[in-house]
Structures are given as C-alpha cells and as structure tokens.
Amino acid sequence: MPLTPSFDFTALDRVAGAVPGLDIGIARGRLLGLAAAPAAFDQTAVLTALLPGLPAAIAATAQPAIEEVRRLLLEGLEATPDTAAPRLAALRAELVRRELDGFLVPMADEHQGEYIPPAAQRLAWLTGFTGSAGLAVVLAETAAIFVDGRYTLQVRDQVDTTLFTPLHLAEQPAGAWLAETAKSGQRIGYDPWLHTRAGLAGLQAGAAKAGATLVPVTSNAVDMVWKTRPPDPLSPLQVQPVALAGEDHRAKIARLAEGLRAEALDGAIISAPDALGWLLNLRGGDLPNNPLGLGYALLEAAAPGRVRLFVKPAKVTPEVRAHLGESVAIEAIAGLGPALAALGEAKARLRLDQATASDALATRIESAGGSVALGSDPCALPRALKNPVELAGTRAAHERDGAALVRFLAWLDGAVAADTALDELAVVARLAEFRSLDPRYRGASFDTIAGFGPNGAIVHYRASAATARRLEAGSLLLVDSGGQYQDGTTDVTRTVAVGPPSPEHRDRYTRVLKGHLALGAARFPAGTTGSQLDALARLPLWQAGLDYDHGTGHGVGSFLCVHEGPQRISKLPSTVALQPGMILSNEPGFYRTGGYGIRIENLVAVVTPRDIAGGERPMLGFETLTLAPYDRRLIEPALLDDTERRLVNAYHARVRATLAARLDPAARAWLDQATAPL
C-alpha cells in the first residue's frame, strides 16, 4: 500500500518494534490498519488488543503517531478542482491499457453498507462527491455521476460538472443513460465485489440495448491509479453482552438455522456487517459511526446450527474467542473464496442477501456447481424486532441523550442571546461535547448535520471549513444528530429559530409539526406497512402545495446502524408490515432551496397500545422514544387544532418530567420555559 512520499515511519516503528514476539512488519501492518479505521473511543484499549504485550508506557504515547498516520492516509481522499481532471485522465489511461472502454465506480464496498471505509471511497477520490449513495460511469469521451434526491444540491457543489454530468438516479437511471450513450461493441468494466446482482441487472440491460457489454474485472481499475489508497481498516471485535443484547448468540444461530431448514436451504452467507454483529453479539470499529467489524459468516442450516466466521485473525481477541465458543469456527478472511467453492462443489443451496451480497459471492458459488437463493438476509427481520432488553436499553439511552440535547439547546439559546460568534462547526463540536459526558457514549451515530440558512436546505449537508456559515439573526438552524451508546442508538432532528422567525418560517414549521404529530399518534391494524402511513406526515404540506423528497422514516438499530431495514416509512411501496419491537424515525421536513431547511425527527417504537373503546380490531401504534422540546417560537398556534395542541403540551410535559432530574438548575430553568403549555 503506497503512502505519501513525505511519510516518516520513525514514530510508528517505535511502537511496532516494542511488541514482544511480533514481527515488526506485522505490527506495522496492524498499526496502519488501525489508522485506517475511525478513531476509537478508547484508543489505548484498542491498540493493546491489536498488539498484545505492548508496554503500557509505549501504548500511552502511541496516539500522536497513529493520528499522524490517519491524517496522511486521509489526505487527498476526496478529489478537488485541481486533482479531479488528472485522476480521471489516469483512470482512462488505465482502461486503455486493459482494453476497456469504460468503468463503473460506485460509492460502495464489498458489503454494500451505507458507511464505507476510506479504502473503498473510490467515488470520492475520483469525483469529490462524498454522499452515501452514488455511481459514476466513466466512458472514453464522457462521464456521468448519478445520485438520488438527497444529493442533487451537494453533487453540484462537490463535483466538477465539466468532467462529470450530474444526473438524478430516479429520473434518469444509469442503465438508461448507458443505453443512450454507450456505443456498440464497447466493453465496460466493473468490480463484481462492489455490485449486487439486482444492481447490475439494469446496468447490463442498458449496456446491451446499446450493443455494449459489462465485463467483470479481477482487480479494480481505480485501485491501480490511486497511488495513496489507504489499507483496509483493522480494529478488534468487541463482545456485546447478553445483558444488553437480550439474547444469546447461540439461541439466535439455532432459530435462524431452523428457518433455513424450513426453506430447504443448506445455509446462508451473512454479508452485511450489521447482520454479522447482531447474530454473534459482536461489535467493532472498522467503520465511521456504525460500531461494526467487517467480515463474512456462513450460517450452516444443519441442526443445531453453526457459524463459520471469516475475519482477519488480528480482530479476534481472547475475550471474543471465549464468547463465541464451539458454535462458531473462526477462519481467516482469505479462506472465504475456497469455502464458497467447496460449498458449490457439494451442490449446496445457499441464501444470499439480495441487498448486500456482491455478485462475486454468487458467481463463486455457482461457478463451482452450487446454487444461490437470493432473498432477504435471515437476520434482517429478527434484528428489527427488538426484544424487551433492547427496547429498555434504547429508552435509557434516549433519556440520557435527551438530557444532553437539552443542555445543548439551552447553551445555544444563551449563546445566540449573548451575540456570541458561532458557526456550524462550533455547533457540531459543542453538541458532541455534551454527549461525550455520558460514560456509555461511543460516538456519533452519523456525522452531525448542522445547517444554517441555505445550508439547512441541503438534506444531507456536512459542514466544513469551506462551507460553515455563521449563525445570524433572521433564519433557521437545522440540527440532525445522533449518538451511539452501548445500550442504544439515537437519531433526532430539531430546527430552531435564530432571532425572530418570519411568518413563512412559522407556517412551514407548523405544517411539518402537524404531519409529525399525526404520524406519531397514528393507530393502525396489524399488516399495515410504512408506505401506507407515509401520507399522514405529508398531508399538511400537501394542503399548501408543498412536499419533501426524502423518506419519512427509516429503521434504527440497537447499538448498530442508525439506518436499518427492512422497515421504512416512505412513498416507495413496501411489503414489510410494521410489527411490535420495530424502531423507526418520524421525520417530515420542508426545504426552501437557497433559503432554509426544516426537519423534525423523533424515533418511535411500534407497540401494542390499549384497545380503542368500541373498536372491533386490535391496533398498533407508536411510542415516542426521543425526548427533546420542539421550538415553541416556530409554532403558529392558529394552525393547530385542539388535538394537536394537546399532543404538543403532553409531549412537552413528559420531556420536562423525565429529564428534569438529570439537568443542572440553569438547563432545568430553560427547559421549563421551552416546554411551557401552548
């Protein structure tokens, strides 16, 4: 793995050379992998887990060396106006060398997760785009980048549109663009580890319509020209105790294996890191924001169920090995390919997750004689149905998170009133400080979105030194943030007025609030899907000729991913019924491009409330988990009916009663005022 020429190994090798009985090259490799992973909450503990026997005195002073490596590895990760053109030219030269006429560059790694490590940030390196979803198609004379509705503004800010034409993924899919743009006989390469079968289908059809062909490659063309590409991340796995997980991993393995046998399957390949973590009650630190370790698992269907876990051996600590026990065989990640081939030769029939399993996995099994049953990950629905222990942990996490949010909001109001100079980056940093006081806090569940004024209209905005706006009276600040706690995951958005709000601000905010309240108070029969409830959140906006382009709700994990399926609340059709134990977000919004953004988000759990008097069918409903006041200054009471007013007052009374004991006198006084009845 080439590094920047200016890199000095001296400090790193001082640490690597201090490990007794371990080759310095191996130790250095582990340190580089650690530097390629996000900074750990307890860096010393992570370091000593990867390098057993490292003297405590050396471990305590290693952090600056690791941070310097991390900085160098991330330097130049994203293309700039100066580097985008040379990088694109280098890729095209590599394609000529390979006798290819084009190449697909997705924002994806081998596991198809929302968050990917630096080593997989090929799209950002090539184009400058950093959103969580996107695809570039590079041909010899033209190139395009495809993003969804969340990123239509961001892509134009980050990408040189003279090099890459930005297109809306839904309005002009990449397959359709290929059908119109590719030429007959062209060979367009792709990395089969970075695409699912379903994702490739439309691209292959579009290329075929133009007479072109998609060609799988054995090595990624971008990797060959990315001379400072970081190594794969390496952090130790960690045990999520049963006291927080609520179910032993052996019990999970046994019931999922039984389900596979019922489908006449021989096993399943677990390719999603969050599924792997849930199944084995493990967490990790390979990815930003999500506490996951990268790897694969083979879940064998034969009773009582057994798992072969494919990971880098250095990830497995003695504690993890003891936790997994005899029901889990630990194998090197390099053994995955041969294992798949052996299963294929045995004519095994295996479940692969159609959403996360790469085409390379399916091809390896089928080419050896096995068969693949594409479908849902067997972990997906059980993981979504939180058990009582997980729900209790999530409630506790939200109480502590709510107290941190109230302290933050009180500080923010005080700073604005004192005319303190604040920009978006200062807001992000201060909120992180309040959350970090919790001993169970393990970091942000996603990069905090703090968008003031026009930046608030960029749905997945991330403040930087180049874009951070100063807070000034007369507009709105949208803060979408969340925390990873060892007992739960949070995600909350509040929009606050900075200075006196305008009548338009109050009207739009109140319409968003009305939809938010309607969805949160909904009662619905068993079998109802999120797509059937989505209109409840949008109706007050529709009545004014307004709408928003993102989904209304996503699933949320338990100290796992902040975006978790299979449940969702969206305009998009869904066949997944909402069931008790599922956690979702409730987050309608409104965005005035170039003006401001509004979003109100609570997390809710699907519950079975008391029967409705006189009702004929049992109903489900939502329990609101998030505890933070709405901004009363932005509420237009004339737009609320009596029921909506009661809902706001009741929620504010609950927030006040639940959080008051956790607050200092100043924050408690602020909360009393912020939650006064309408």
Give the residue from 281, 170, 283 showing the smallest Cα distance to 236.
Answer: 283
Residue with tokens 């994806």, as numbered in its chain: 108
The set of residues, in sequence order, having a beta carbon less than 8 Å from that of 642 and lying 6+ positions away, is none
Which of 54-68, 287-301, 314-328 is the least confident region?
Answer: 54-68
User: Domain coordinates of the chain in residue numbers?
Assistant: 10-74, 84-225, 238-384, 388-674
Query: Do the Cβ atoms of 566 and 381 come closer than 8 Å?
Result: yes
Provide the CA 409 distance to its chain's centre, in angstroms. Answer: 25
Mean per-residue pLDDT of the chain: 95
664-674 pLDDT, tens digit each: 999 999 999 99
Sole residue written with tokens 């979003």: 599
Of 304, 280, 302, 284, nearest to 292 by C-alpha is: 284
Task: Give the pLDDT band (50/70/90) at residue 2.
Answer: very low
**Calpha distance 382→249 (Å, rounded):** 12
What pLDDT does residue 8 have? 65
Q: What is the H or E stretch that residue 204 is in?
A: helix 197-209
Answer yes or no: is pLDDT of 617 > 80.
yes
pLDDT band for position 423 (cuts 50, 70, 90): very high
Q: How far apart are CA 138 and CA 125, in angstroms?
A: 14
**Cα radius of gyration rounded to whole Å, the chain:** 25
Going by C-alpha positions, the residue among 118, 322, 347 that lies closest to residue 233 is 118
Which conformational region is residue 276 in: left (phi greater than 0), alpha (psi within -120 to 50 degrees), or beta? alpha
Q: What percent of the chain has pLDDT over 90?
A: 87
Residue 5: the pLDDT is 40
Q: Report the C-alpha gap between 305 and 394 in whole angstroms.
A: 29
Q: 115-130 pLDDT, tens per residue?
A: 999 999 999 999 999 9
**CATH architecture of the domain with range 388-674:** Alpha-Beta Complex (3.90)
Helices (H), 75-128: 84-97, 122-127
Pairwise CA distance, residues 453 & 471, whole Å: 8
Query: Tell me, what's the pLDDT at 596?
Result: 98
DSSP state of 164: S
CATH of 238-384, one of 3.40.350.10, 3.40.50.1370, 3.60.20.10, 3.50.50.60: 3.40.350.10
CA–CA gap between residue 517 and residue 556 (Å, rounded): 20
In the β-sheet with 524-525, what is the strand arrangement from edge to edge?
A: 524-525, 619-624, 602-607, 583-586, 553-555, 564-569
Angstrom CA distances, 308 to 134, 261, 332, 339, 668, stand at: 32, 17, 10, 10, 52
Beta bridge partners of 267: 300, 350
Which SS3 state, helix, strand or coil, does residue 485 take?
A: strand
**Weakest mean pLDDT among 74-78, 347-351, 411-415, 590-594:** 74-78
Gap between the Cα atoms of 374 and 363, Å rounded:
12
Does 636 score more than 80 pLDDT? yes
pLDDT tens-digit readout, 279-312:
999 999 999 999 999 999 999 999 999 999 999 9
| Count of CB atoms situated within 10 Å of the CB of 332 | 10
Q: What is the pLDDT confidence band of residue 4, given thresholds at 50, 70 and 90?
A: very low
Q: Return the pLDDT at 453.
A: 98
Superfamily, domain 84-225: Creatinase/prolidase N-terminal domain (3.40.350.10)
Tokens of 455: 């930046």
> Band of the pLDDT at 1, cuts 50, 70, 90?
very low
| Cα 98 from chain centroid (whole Å) | 34
At residue 50 the predicted structure's pLDDT band, cuts being 50, 70 and 90, is very high
Contact 344, 370 (CB under 8 A): yes
238-384 and 84-225 share a CATH fold: yes
